[in-house]
Structure 1
C-alpha cells in the first residue's frame, strides 16, 4: 500500500489519527483563502466565455468524462471549444504546448492527451493557464474550458462546474491534510452547478446547507479498445466471468474495478498512484490473463502495449435540463462579452 493510499483510506474511513494534524488543516484553509484573494485581485479575463470544471477534493471525481461531454455538446451547438490544462505529469520542451493525438505523453501529461484523442478539439497545456487560454484564442476557439481549474484563480472565469464523487462525497469533511478537501464544502455554494457522479444521497447528507443546483451524472462504459492500435470491440468482447488483470493509476481505482465487475468480469486488482508513469516490466503478470485499464492509463502504455491489452472508454450522461441551462448561459455570455478582457 502506498503512502497516498494510507492517507486516502484515513480520509474516507473513520481513522482518528488524522485529527492530530488539525492545526495544519486550519493553517491550510487560511493560506488557501489568502491565495484565492490575492490571485482573484489580478485575474485575467478573456473576451470569450471561460468555463471551469473542477472539484474541491483531491483524487478522481469524474471531471474528464464531463469535460469530454461538454466539448461534444458545445460542438454540436456550433461552438469551437478548446481545453486548457496544467498538464500534470508531463514536461514540455516549451510552453504553451498545443496537444495533438501524437504528442508524447511525457510532454503533455495523461489527461490532456486522453482528452485530445477523445474529442479531437484544441487542447493546450501550460503551468500558466492564462497563457494557455491565449494560445487557444489564437487558434480560433470561442469558448475555453479549464480542466481541473477551480483553484486556479488567476484565470478569470464566467461559469464554474464542481464535480463531486457521489460514492465518496467529502470524506471526513476536513481540508488537507486532515481530510481530502482543497477548499471547504461551503465553496460549492459559490459555483454555478454541482454535478454529482452517481447518487446524490451522501452529498445531501454531508452538505445539508448546499444551495447550488445539483445534477446527477451517470458515467457508463462505451466499448473496449485495443491499447496498441485503438481497435474497437463491443462490451461483450470478453465472455462473462473472464479473469483479467485490471490496471488503474487514477484518482479512484475502486470505481473502475466496480465497473469491471458490473460488466461480468473477474478483475485482479493492480493499483498504481494517480498519473503513474508505467514501465513495461510493471505490467507483466501471472497468470497471463488479458490486461485492462482506463483510457488515461492507456495513453501511457501504448508504446509498449501487448495485443491482449485493452482499455475501456466511457461516456457521461446528464439530464437535458442541465444541457438546456448550460447552453442558455453560454449564449447569454456570448452576447455580452467581457469588458477589459484579452481579445
Structure 2
C-alpha cells in the first residue's frame, strides 16, 4: 500500500471530502451488517474471570489515539504488572513473552513495534504478545504477574475487565462504523467505559526531541518526518511548518531498500521519527535522526473507580 493511498483511506474514514462521503453513503448497508455482528457478539459473550485485575486501555476508532503512552503511564505505577497485546506488524504468530521483569527476550521482528516499545519503556513489567488474550492472561498469572493491562482490549467482551476508553481530541466527522466511517464500534459504546479519557481534556501529550539520548531545544530547519503510525498528520502540529512527511502504513516493517531510497531523496535533510518507529529504524544507523519522544500528563483525572476495582482483588 503506497503512502498516498493509505493517507487517502485515513482521510476517508475520519475527515472525508464530498466524493469520499458519497462512497461512505453507498457502503451504509455493509455498515449495518457490521454493527449487527458487533452487537450480537457483545450480547452472546460469556465473561471469563481470572482472579487478577485486568485493565483494558482501548478506543473505538480505527488507529491510534494514545493507547501505548497511556498504557505506559499507568503500568509504570504498579509492581509485577504485565501488558498484553496482539503485536500487530510482527513477523511471528502465537504467544511470546517479549520481556519478563524488564529483561527483553525477543527481537522486534518477533514482538512487533508496539510491544518492543513497551518492553523498553517498562523495565519493571512483563510484556506478552498473543492473538489469544485468554492464553496470554493465564501465562501472565503463571509468571507471577499481579495486574494485567490489555492493549486495545475493549472489544474482548468475553474477558471480565475494567475498561478505560480513550477519546481523540478531534473526533471523526463521520460517526458511522466501518466500512462507512472510522468507528470500529458504535459511538454510543463510550457509555460502556468505566473511565473515559479525552485528549486535551483529561490528558495531554508532552513532546520532547532527543538526539543520541540527549534532549535538544530546536530541530534543524530542513526536516523530514519518517514514520509508520496511524494518522501521521497529527504529528505535524508538534513540528516546524516546513516539515516534509514520508509516511508508511501503520506497523510497516521498513526495508533496507526503502531507507536507502528515502535517505538519498533527502540527502541534505535531517529526519525525525517516533519511539514506535525508532525500535525498527535503529538497525539502519540513519545519520541525523531525531527522536520525537512522547509522554502523557494526566489533568487531575479521578482514578478512584480504578483504585476501588483493584482494592476488591486485594481484599479477596
TM over 0.5, shorter chain: yes
Question: How many residues matched?
Answer: 302
**Who is 2:130 aligned against?**
126
- Maintained 8 Å contact 1:173/1:185: yes
Distance 1:102 1:282, change over 3 A: farther
**1:233 equivalent among 192, 201, 214:** 214
Q: Over aligned residue pairs, what C-alpha RMSD do you find?
A: 2.0
1:122: how far off? 0.5
Distance 1:93 1:31, change over 3 A: closer
Q: Which runs of 5+ in 2 are unaligned?
A: none
Alpha-carbon distance in structure 1 between the residues aligned to 2:289 and 2:106: 21
Alignment of 1:11-160 (within 5 A): 11=13, 12-14=15-17, 15-38=21-44, 40-41=45-46, 43-72=47-76, 74-75=77-78, 79-92=79-92, 94-99=94-99, 101=104, 103-120=106-123, 121-157=125-161, 159-160=162-163
Distance 1:54 1:23, change over 3 A: same
1:32: how far off? 1.2
TM-score, structure 1 normalization: 0.82
Per-residue CA deviations over 1:294-336 (Å, capped at 9, x if unaligned) read 011111111112232222211101123434x255224433235
TM-score, structure 2 normalization: 0.88
**Who is 1:292 aligned against?**
272
SS at match of 2:268: coil
Alpha-carbon distance in structure 1 between the residues aligned to 2:6 and 2:271: 24
Alpha-carbon distance in structure 1 between the residues aligned to 2:314 and 2:286: 51
**Who is 2:176 aligned against?**
174
**Who is 2:197 aligned against?**
195
SS at match of 2:134: helix
1:93: how far off? 6.3
Pair 1:260-2:239 in alignment: yes
- Maintained 8 Å contact 2:224/2:272: yes
Distance 1:235 1:255, change over 3 A: farther
1:288: how far off? 2.5
Alpha-carbon distance in structure 2 between the residues aligned to 1:3 and 1:31: 28
- Maintained 8 Å contact 1:53/1:163: yes
**Who is 2:302 aligned against?**
322
**Who is 1:308 aligned against?**
288
Alpha-carbon distance in structure 2 between the residues aligned to 1:37 and 1:186: 15
